[in-house]
Structure 1
Amino acid sequence: MFRIWGKLFKDNHMIKDTVVVIDDPTLSRTKKVYKALDEICYEFDLSRPIWLKANQNDFIKLSRTRFTSDSFVESIDFDYLDFQVIEEDCIY
């Protein structure tokens, strides 16, 4: 099971959150991440953010990143979208 936690923050307060579960073992980790981001954006009614180099580096190191207004084409009414892996498939 692969779970991602998406949270919207404004003025240092969480205003919305959701957990997305991707349970498709045929997908690669990258495809699971993109699918989870699409589902979170759909649920929050957001356009899909652009992965900037800083987002990629943070996600590779920490399995977590923040999408700020720089990552969105449209204007946003929150400070950032926090995107974090909370459970990954175990491969034994």
Structure 2
Amino acid sequence: MFRVWGKLIKDNHLMKDTVICISDYEMTRTHKVYKALEDMCYEFDLAKPVWLKKNKDEFIHHARTRFTADNFVEDIDFDYLDFQVIEEEY
């Protein structure tokens, strides 16, 4: 099971959160990450954010990153989307 926790944060308060579970063991880790982000954005009714170098580096080192207004093409009504892997099984 691959689980990712997503949180919308505004003014240091949790606005919404969700846990996305992916149980397809045939997918690569990268595909699971992108699928989880896509599912999360669908659930939050958001456009998918753009992965910047900063996000890729944070995610590689910590399995966690924050998507801010710089990552979104549209205006957002929150400060950031926190995206964190909470469980990985191979």
**TM-score, normalised on structure 1?**
0.97
Between the aligned partners of 1:32 and 1:87, the Cα distance in structure 2 is: 12
Q: Partner of 2:17: helix, strand, or coil? A: strand
Using the alignment, how far apart are the partners of 1:4 and 1:48 within structure 2? 15
Q: Residues 16-64 of structure 1: CA distance to partner in whole angstroms, max 9, x if unpaired?
A: 0000000000000000000000000000000000000000000000000
> Runs of at least 4 residues of structure 1 off by over 6 A?
none
1:3 matched to 2:7: no
What stretches of structure 2 of length at least 5 have no aligned partner? none
Matched ranges for 1:11-90 at <5 A: 11-90=11-90
**What amino acid sits opposite 2:8 in the alignment?**
L
Percent same amino acid among aligned pairs? 67
Query: How many residues are paired up?
Result: 90
Contiguous gaps of at least 5 residues in structure 1: none
What value does the CA root-mean-square deviation take over the aligned residues? 0.5
Post-superposition shift, 1:89?
A: 1.1
Q: Distance in 2 between matches of 1:89 and 1:22?
A: 10
TM-score (norm. length: structure 2): 0.99
Q: Secondary structure at the match of 1:56?
A: helix
